[in-house]
Amino acid sequence: MNTCDAIAVFVRFAASEPAAPAASPLGRAALQLGAEGARIVFCHPDTAIQDADGQLLVTGQVAQGDRWQDVTGQRISAAYLRVSALAELRRLQPLATRLQRASVPLCNPLALVSLCRDKLQWDQAARRANLPFPESVVGVEKMEQALHQWGGGFLKPRLGAGGRDVVRVRLLGGGVRVEQAGPALELSQDELTSWLHARQAREPQLLQHEVTVAPGPWQGLSIRSLAQRSPSGRWITTTPVVRWCRDGIAGNVSRGAQVTPLEHFAHPIGGRSGGALCDSVARLDQRVTDAVDAELGPAAPLAVEIGIDYVPDEQGCLHGIEVNDTPQGRLALAAAGADPKLEAAHQAALRRPIDYLLAAPPRLGAACRHLSVSPAPSPP
């Protein structure tokens, strides 16, 4: 990579980050990279401009000693997408087009965002790759048929994230029970149809078959794994964590779930220890990342990290439930804070995508030429 150029990291925190970069894990990673000669500019998604010569320039912040320094008109050689809000991703579409026209690789591109954010699109990809993900259906009529066949399932916004508006629907006797945040909702069979139509009218929905989870003193237990590209271009699995809560149905950190590194989890899950499950996670991660690469085709090298959520069944077998394109945030911070020894692993995970960008410019440039810019999913 041209040492005169920089890497742009599109991330929301840049507008409100504390004065000292060392106050946050991402800031400390930026300081490390700066000390090694890499210039990393943190930008809000709508800050890029293009000058008259066709070069792409950005405005943002760089970590400089004990403060964040504003920079304007910085030329970049590559970019890395870390934003997570759907509204921001939608605004990024024009920028993604301009990046591609300027032959500037955008890692975790909008094609990956679309694959991960649209649960139906990923379900179809998982079916093609024969991955152990529960069956999913869309459309009110198919949902009702599936509920009568399965006995229950999780109803989710097709483009949702963070456990938002996820409910468990179960057929009990002659009625229907909807478990959600707050009191459960009891419906008759006749009321189910109109209730499903009302949900669908607000935003597209998807019904996913419920996995019978391993028993234990928890609710909403799931395993989150982070898969990232190493500088060599190979996908690797970082420390998986367990998320669980004592009540509720979704084990999301944003909704109060607790987090523990899987290898340190004290309770057997489906008769298997956390260490044994870590090995299973790594093997299944490889199958999932192979499927991601197959879906992206020649543009696959632009995918640098994904978060994969698994649920263990009663025998301890893993079933994937979601794939996420921006898996950082409070989950990573909570995992790092659980054990001081994980701080170094967390720091390495934060900078690994940038290390990959620094190591692989020819591969990324070729991938960029093969990428057709895909629109990010529209927010509900």
pLDDT tens digits, 177-231: 999 877 899 999 889 999 999 999 999 999 999 988 877 766 678 899 999 999 9
Q: Which of 134, 92, 81 is nearest to 302 (CA)?
A: 81
What's the mean pLDDT in 38-59?
80
The helix or strand, by DSSP H or E, that contains position 245, with its residue range, turns out to be: strand 241-245
pTM for the structure as a whole: 0.89
Identify the band that residue 152 occupies on the pLDDT scale cut at 50, 70 and 90: very high
What's the mean pLDDT in 291-317?
93
Rounded to 5 degrees, φ, ψ at 39 are: -100, 115
Report the residue count for the chain: 380
Q: What mean pLDDT value characterizes the chain?
A: 85
Strand bridging mode 152-157 / 205-209: antiparallel
The reported pLDDT for the residue numbered 208 is: 97
Check the CA dihedral 123-127-133-138 and report its sign.
positive
**What are the chain's domains?**
6-107 (3.40.50.20), 115-133+213-364 (3.30.470.20), 136-209 (3.30.1490)
SS3 state of residue 105:
coil
Whole-angstrom Cα distance, residue 238 to residue 249?
26
Q: Is the distance from CB of 137 to CB of 210 less than 8 angstroms? A: no
The more confident residue out of 210 and 339 is 210
The reported pLDDT for the residue numbered 342 is: 72
The reported pLDDT for the residue numbered 330 is: 44
Question: Which residue carries 């950190």 as its tokens?
Answer: 253
Q: Give the number of other CB atoms < 10 A from CB of residue 339.
A: 14
Contacting residues for 198 by C-beta, under 8 A, at least 6 apart: none
Q: Is the distance from CB of 169 to CB of 153 less than 8 angstroms? A: yes
Identify the band that residue 356 occupies on the pLDDT scale cut at 50, 70 and 90: very high
Q: Is the distance from CB of 75 to CB of 110 less than 8 angstroms? A: no
The reported pLDDT for the residue numbered 127 is: 97
Q: Which of 106, 3, 94 is nearest to 47 (CA)?
A: 94
Give Cα 114 distance to the centre of its chain. Answer: 11
Which residues on neighbouring strands pair with residue 223, listed in sequence order? 242, 310
Q: How many secondary structure helices (H) and strands (E) does the chain include?
A: 10, 18
Whole-angstrom Cα distance, residue 130 to residue 44?
38
Identify the band that residue 338 occupies on the pLDDT scale cut at 50, 70 and 90: low
Cα–Cα distances in Å, from 183 out to 94, 155, 217, 302, 345?
Answer: 43, 17, 21, 44, 40
What's the mean pLDDT in 331-351?
67
Q: Give the number of other CB atoms < 10 A from CB of residue 186.
A: 11
The more confident residue out of 54 and 284 is 284
Q: What percent of the chain has pLDDT over 70?
A: 86
Please say if the pLDDT value at position 77 is more than 50.
yes
What's the mean pLDDT in 101-114?
90
Please say if the pLDDT value at position 51 is more than 70.
no
Identify the band that residue 375 occupies on the pLDDT scale cut at 50, 70 and 90: low
Whole-angstrom Cα distance, residue 116 to residue 43?
23
Identify the band that residue 7 occupies on the pLDDT scale cut at 50, 70 and 90: very high
What's the mean pLDDT in 124-152?
96
Q: Give the number of other CB atoms < 10 A from CB of residue 19.
A: 8
Residue type present at position 293: D
Two tokens, residue 67:
């403060």
Using only C-alpha atoms, the chain has a radius of gyration, in whole angstroms, of 21
